[in-house]
């Protein structure tokens, strides 16, 4: 069953500093885009088109696509 998502803004903290991100509220829970979180924490995100798989790689930095 489809759920309604409402665009909102939410804050996360990195090293004590507040970062505002776009969030999507569904049933009272906030969801963030993976790329937004990866960018905020400088974590690599990869895509394997052959297997349609997203990877999270903490050993590399975030690269803007």
Residue pLDDT, tens place only, 7-40: 999 999 999 999 999 999 999 999 999 999 999 9
Backbone φ, ψ for residue 5 (5° rounding): -115, 135
Domain ranges in the chain are 6-57
Is the pLDDT assigned to residue 65 strictly greater than 90? no
- CA–chain centroid gap for 5, Å, is 16
Long-range contacts of 8-11, Cβ-Cβ distance < 8 Å, separation of 24 or more:
none
Q: Decide: helix, strand or coil at residue 41.
A: helix
Length of the chain: 65
Which residue's structure tokens are 């400088």?
42
pTM score, two decimals? 0.81
């Amino acid at each position: 069953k489809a759920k309604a998502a409402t665009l909102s803004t939410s804050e996360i903290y990195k090293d004590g500093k507040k970062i505002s991100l776009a969030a999507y509220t569904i049933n009272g829970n906030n969801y963030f885009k993976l790329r937004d979180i990866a960018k905020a924490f400088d974590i690599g995100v990869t895509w394997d088109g052959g297997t349609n798989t997203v990877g999270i790689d903490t050993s590399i930095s975030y690269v803007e696509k």
